Amino acid sequence: MIRPLTQLVNLQSPLSLNDYISEGGYQGASKALHDYSPKQVLDLVGDSGLKGRGGAGFPTGMKWSCVPMFEADDDNAPAFKYLVANADEMEPGTFKDRYLLEGAPHQLVEAMIIAAYTIAANRGYIFLRGEYHLAGKRLQQAINEAYQQNWLGKNIQGTNFSFDLYVHTSAGRYICGEETALINALEGRRANPRAKPPFPQISGLFGQPTVVNNVETLCNLPHIVKQGADWFKALSPNSDSGTKIYAACGRVKSPGLWELPMGTTIREILYQHAGGMAGGFKLRGLLPGGASTDFLLPEHLDTPMDFDSIAKVGSRLGTGGLIVLDDKNCPVAMVLNLMRFFAQESCGFCTPCRDGTPWAVEVLTRIEQGTGRKEDLDTLYNLCDFMWLGKTHCALAPGAVEPLKSALRYFSDEFEQHIDNGCCSYQQDNIVNKSLTLQSSQGGAVHG
């Protein structure tokens, strides 16, 4: 199986620049700089069908095509264009970018050279999650090596193209993963999302044209330029091209991540690569693309993990990170835990998100603790509508309610058990198990 993104990953000791080159690295960048015009690279990326791997799934070539291109002697040309790699990976259940950053930092550097050349960007930033200390160290080392051998800086490899690249460590907050909030943070401002339009491709960082792409998205570029659009499309059995780094966490035998053809089924990821459910646990449901996606059930296991197929069954591919819910954990408690995270991470800019997420936490806490009322369910349904798309400044609140509204649909019995009985079957089982364990440890008899 061809795995272009991960074939050169080495978490223990990532390849130096010379070793990376000896394994075929920087061939894509060299080919782009010497054999193609920026327009030809743009057309190649568009023809490849590459879509954003950060969650939105927007066609990369189309995104780049919105950047205004000026002739060199145009007096109206902007002083700078910027390229930003979104490495602020704070989506719960997602760790694919960290794997690439720590294991193959030169792959991202090469990818950013190609992207910057295509959109005529002068300067690039890797906006890195603050907790990714090892990734930051390895990225800086790779950048230093690239400068030393003229893969960065002035007149790269004897061409007229110049490009400077910097690592910018994020001060934190989940909202920084939204591209305009990221741009505000990069400028030293509060990380609030901006109103669009204007879109960043027209007016982004410091008011200049800016492209923001996810790390995994960018890392496909060297391979597309080197091997061609048809090769990239052939990696996948369906309409979504290339490979995807999928992950799984929760009560599975072998949590981790795997690069697989785009459109690999949930069943294959969960039972072949993650080893299936851990001993004594059964699958109850899962979030297919990180914490801000809708629950799916065992009946959806044969769904291909691509953008269109996951949307058809009522969820989103997101980042491709499966978060598994087993049969011994309460879905109400799981949703409450997720909602606490989103309430804490809200930037507070708009009322539905600022007030709606804490309100949902309050209601869910009451239900989970056994003091909920029937009308609390109506309140939660109303909050899901109150915080939905088109009613908030950005997508944080709609993403926050996706697991909630799908849990209300699929796990309604558990919510009602909490309200009617003060707890659900999961908690009752845990109480019985703890009681049996206590009696056994005390030498007491256990009767059926």
Distance, CA of 385 to CA of 100 (rounded, Å): 37
pLDDT band at 440 (very low <50, low <70, confident <90, very high): very low
Calculate what percentage of the chain has a pLDDT beyond 70.
92
Say yes or no: 419 and 400 in one domain.
yes
Residue whose entry in the numeric block shows the structure tokens 């061939």: 27
Say yes or no: 405 and 312 in one domain.
no
For Cα atoms 25, 97, 401, give the angle at the middle one, nearest 5 degrees: 155
Distance, CA of 55 to CA of 173 (rounded, Å): 17
Say yes or no: 180 and 64 in one domain.
yes
Distance, CA of 264 to CA of 311 (rounded, Å): 15
164-169 and 123-128 strand pairing = parallel
Q: Write down the pLDDT at residue 422.
A: 80
Q: Write down the pLDDT at residue 434.
A: 44
pLDDT digits (tens, 9 = 90+) for 140-190: 999 999 999 999 999 999 999 999 999 999 988 899 989 999 999 999 999
Of 294, 326, 358, the domain-final residue: 326
Backbone angles phi and psi of 350, in degrees to 5: -120, 150
Of 274, 297, 326, the domain-final residue: 326
Domain with residue 315: its CATH number is 3.10.20.600
Domain with residue 369: its CATH number is 1.20.1440.230
Tell me what the mean pLDDT of segment 375-383 comes to.
Answer: 96
In-domain check, residue 395: yes
In-domain check, residue 10: no
Tell me what the mean pLDDT of segment 357-378 comes to.
Answer: 95
Token pair listed for 38: 């920026």
In single-letter form, the type of residue at position 305 comes to: M
Distance, CA of 244 to CA of 305 (rounded, Å): 9
Partners of 296 in the beta sheet?
A: 286
Collapsing DSSP to helix, strand or coil, 15 comes out as coil
Q: Write down the pLDDT at residue 45.
A: 97
Q: Write down the pLDDT at residue 70.
A: 60
In single-letter form, the type of residue at position 236 comes to: S
Collapsing DSSP to helix, strand or coil, 52 comes out as coil
In-domain check, residue 443: no
Per-residue pLDDT for 64 more than 90? Answer: yes
Say yes or no: 315 and 342 in one domain.
no
Domain range for 381 is 331-431
Q: Write down the pLDDT at residue 75.
A: 54
Tell me what the mean pLDDT of segment 210-229 comes to.
Answer: 97
Nearest to 252 by CA among 278, 228, 273: 278
Nearest to 253 by CA among 272, 267, 239: 272
Domain with residue 208: its CATH number is 3.40.50.11540
Q: Write down the pLDDT at residue 448.
A: 29
In-domain check, residue 371: yes
Q: Write down the pLDDT at residue 437.
A: 45
In-domain check, residue 7: no
Instruction: Name the least confident of 104-108, 195-199, 321-325.
Output: 195-199
Token pair listed for 353: 């998100």
Report pTM: 0.91
DSSP H or E segment with residue 416: helix 412-421
Distance, CA of 321 to CA of 274 (rounded, Å): 12
Say yes or no: 348 and 322 in one domain.
no
In-domain check, residue 250: yes
Say yes or no: 317 and 338 in one domain.
no
Say yes or no: 71 and 195 in one domain.
yes
Tell me what the mean pLDDT of segment 3-24 comes to.
Answer: 96
- Tell me the average pLDDT of the chain: 92
Q: Write down the pLDDT at residue 77.
A: 59
In angstroms, what CA-CA distances link 367 with 362, 370, 409, 419? 9, 5, 16, 6
Say yes or no: 228 and 256 in one domain.
no
pLDDT digits (tens, 9 = 90+) for 324-363: 999 999 999 999 999 999 999 999 999 999 999 999 999 9
Say yes or no: 154 and 286 in one domain.
no
In-domain check, residue 353: yes
Q: Write down the pLDDT at residue 78.
A: 66
Q: Write down the pLDDT at residue 432.
A: 43
In-domain check, residue 3: no
Task: Please give the residue that has the higher pLDDT: either 340 or 448.
Answer: 340
Say yes or no: 406 and 341 in one domain.
yes
Per-residue pLDDT for 441 more than 50? Answer: no
Distance, CA of 375 to CA of 391 (rounded, Å): 23
Per-residue pLDDT for 307 more than 50? Answer: yes
Task: Please give the residue that has the higher pLDDT: either 442 or 270.
Answer: 270
Q: Write down the pLDDT at residue 73.
A: 47
Of 326, 354, 387, the domain-final residue: 326
Say yes or no: 306 and 337 in one domain.
no
pLDDT digits (tens, 9 = 90+) for 16-47: 999 999 999 999 999 999 999 999 999 999 99
Please give the tally of structural domains in the chain: 3
Per-residue pLDDT for 315 more than 90? Answer: yes
Say yes or no: 61 and 169 in one domain.
yes
Token pair listed for 65: 């095509």
> The dihedral of CA 222, 234, 66, 75: what is its sign?
positive
Instruction: Name the least confident of 70-79, 360-369, 432-441.
Output: 432-441
